[in-house]
């Protein structure tokens, strides 16, 4: 199946979707927004495959066991040869560094999980790493987003 040409975006939060719609309108970006669970994208024909999937800040909010369904989602939704980009909390800078078992014992995610380059490489080891680095720090007046407490990563799926 060839990749979808349409740009789609999903978030659970109506406020996040409303804000994103406003920003997309302001720059004339044609994006189909969907409020819902990213793990349930078969609805409304949003299942892909996509040439590019970008997760901006969702992965680090998921409990550890959801990494399995997250990988299954990528496998389903990413086109052969497609790219997966990720922005997530950088260990040592932001997020909980508790072991997975402690998160379950405490039944809390502590605002999000920190990831090390090693843990990201291990989790996404079925993909080829193109780049994995700390995000550039962008000043408030910059038109670009950039926070140094985040990793920014790009992986490629086998063709
Ligand atoms: C740190 S915010 C990032 C928001 C936005 N993507 C950005 O970069 O500014 C994390 C977002 O992940 C969304 N989220 C968490 N779990 C989700 C899920 N299962 N499906 C869709 N969105 C989810 C939350 O609603 C929240 O808006």
Instruction: Please check whether residues 64 and 138 belong to one and the same domain.
Output: yes
- For 39, which DSSP code? G
Instruction: Please check whether residues 150 and 100 belong to one and the same domain.
Output: yes
Q: 146 or 42, which is more confident?
A: 146
Instruction: Please check whether residues 99 and 152 belong to one and the same domain.
Output: yes
| Rounded-to-5 percentages of helix, strand, coil across the chain | 30, 30, 40
Q: What is the mean pLDDT of residues 71-77?
A: 94
* Whole-number Å distance between alpha carbons of 113 and 87: 12
Instruction: Please check whether residues 61 and 37 belong to one and the same domain.
Output: no
Q: What is the pLDDT of residue 46?
A: 81
Q: What is the mean pLDDT of residues 142-158?
A: 96
Instruction: Please check whether residues 59 and 32 belong to one and the same domain.
Output: no
Instruction: Please check whether residues 63 and 76 belong to one and the same domain.
Output: yes
The CA 72 to ligand 1 mean position distance, Å, reads 18
Query: Domain containing 144: what range?
Result: 49-156
The CA 57 to ligand 1 mean position distance, Å, reads 6
Q: What is the mean pLDDT of residues 45-68?
A: 94
Instruction: Please check whether residues 34 and 56 belong to one and the same domain.
Output: no
The CA 91 to ligand 1 mean position distance, Å, reads 19
Letter string b/e over residues 36-46, b meaning 16 or more CB atoms within 10 A of that residue's CB: eebeebeeeeb
pLDDT in tens, 136-145: 999 999 999 9
* pTM of the full structure: 0.94
- For 59, which DSSP code? G
Whether the Cβ atoms of residue 60 and residue 35 lie closer than 8 Å to each other:
no
- The answer to whether the CB of 16 is under 6 A from ligand 1 is yes
Which pLDDT band, with edges at 50, 70 and 90, does 42 fall under?
confident
């Amino acid at each position: 199946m060839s990749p979808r040409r349409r740009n789609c975006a999903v978030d659970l939060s109506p406020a996040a979707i409303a804000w994103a719609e406003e920003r997309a309108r302001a720059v004339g970006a044609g994006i189909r927004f969907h409020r819902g669970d990213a793990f349930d994208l078969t609805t409304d024909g949003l299942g892909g495959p996509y040439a590019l999937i970008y997760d901006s800040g969702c992965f680090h909010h998921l409990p550890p066991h959801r990494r399995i369904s997250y990988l299954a989602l990528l496998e389903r939704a990413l086109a052969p040869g497609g790219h997966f980009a990720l922005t997530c909390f950088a260990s040592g800078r932001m997020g909980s560094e508790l072991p997975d078992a402690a998160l379950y014992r405490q039944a809390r995610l502590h605002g999000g999980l920190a990831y090390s380059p090693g843990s990201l490489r291990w989790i996404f080891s079925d993909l080829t790493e193109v780049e994995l680095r700390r995000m550039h720090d962008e000043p408030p007046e910059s038109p670009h987003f950039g926070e140094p407490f985040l990793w920014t990563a790009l992986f490629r799926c086998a063709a």
